[in-house]
Amino acid sequence: MGFCSPVCKILRRGKYFVLLLLSLSVLAWIATFSGETVKSLQVSSATTRTLVKDRDSLRDKVNSPAPDRLKTPPPKVQCPQESPLLQGALKLSFESSLKLKDVEIENKGVTEGEYEPPDCKSRQSVAILIPHRNRERHLLYLLHHLHPFLQRQQLHYAIYVIQQAGDATFNRAKLLNVGYLEALKDYSWECFIFHDVDLVPENDYNLYVCDKQPKHLVVGRNATGYKLRYKGYFGGVTAMTKDQFLQVNGFSNTYWGWGGEDDDLRIRVELQKMKIMRPPADVARYTMVFHKRDSGNEINKDRMRLLGRTPQVWKKDGLNSCSYKTLSIERLPLYLNVTVDIGKPQS
């Protein structure tokens, strides 16, 4: 029709204007959107970097030592030079009603005769060797006192009872050689205590540890007015390191019956230029549980002759010539019970 009214013209121009506005806002929106994408890409790469960094620090954390409180079990510190548990002179009891079960209940920390302090690393590992035959009551009293005594000293220890099988004459020294050799099959004990079954220590400052020189722990006992029996006395309870005992070739195997074997060991020690040490007399005190002389352990009348030949024979008579047959090893709650056939005296 070729005709457009002024209103129509205004409307047509307005349409272009709206179109222009629309295109501008689309452009503006595109510009905004792309900006955000860049920004969000930047954010996400930053996040990745953070994660990588976190993963690295996690690896560092995993590989670095854990804080102490998380370690199980915590490393044990060495026990103090002097145990804080020591009590000094003790009142000993020898109740006739005492049972082995009572002693087991009182010593829950002992397993198969062995104990380790729970809170610290002991300064020495000590094997206690007790030669034995038919002295059950004495053994019970000794175990009753010795276990808590050793625990108060914060020792890693085990008690070995070496039983002589059969009824041939008793040989304390040879049983102790057997105990040493058998105990070393269990553990590399640093220190050995050679202990009579009828001697009970009275004071826990009498330390059952070894020293640079062999130690004699019985200065006095009730039966003899707490006096040293004679200058060279080396019997009852003695302490020697694994190496000291090896150096003297252990005890002689030839002392059957009572007496002489401890004097023989002293001679061996002296031949090696070692010096016997003793704790102070007020500490090295023992109660001897009364008993009659055992049958099968008669006085060895030959002991003086044997002592005279020690310097000539010690190298071939001792640990290196100790022949025996182990009949059984029972791992009882409070001690290791080693039963051996050690033969009989050669006539």
Q: Is 260 in the site for ligand BGC (CB under 6 A)?
A: yes
Name the residue number minimizing CB distance to ligand BGC: 235
Measured from the CB atom, is 3 or 230 closer to ligand BGC? 230
Measured from the CB atom, is 235 or 250 closer to ligand BGC? 235
Measured from the CB atom, is 223 or 327 closer to ligand BGC? 223
Q: How far is the CB of 263 from ligand BGC (least distance, A)?
A: 5
Q: Is 229 in the site for ligand BGC (CB under 6 A)?
A: yes
Task: Provide the mask over 262-281, with x wherever binding to ligand BGC is found by CB under 6 A and - wherever it is not.
Answer: xx------------------
Task: Provide the mask over 230-249, with x wherever binding to ligand BGC is found by CB under 6 A and - wherever it is not.
Answer: -----x--------------
Residues touching ligand BGC: how many (CB under 6 A)? 7
Catalytic residue annotation: 196, 198, 258, 261-262, 288, 291, 293
Measured from the CB atom, is 206 or 238 closer to ligand BGC? 238
Q: Is 196 in the site for ligand BGC (CB under 6 A)?
A: no
Which residues on neighbouring strands pair with residue 329, listed in sequence order?
338
* Binding interface with ligand BGC (CB under 6 A): 229, 235, 259-260, 262-263, 303
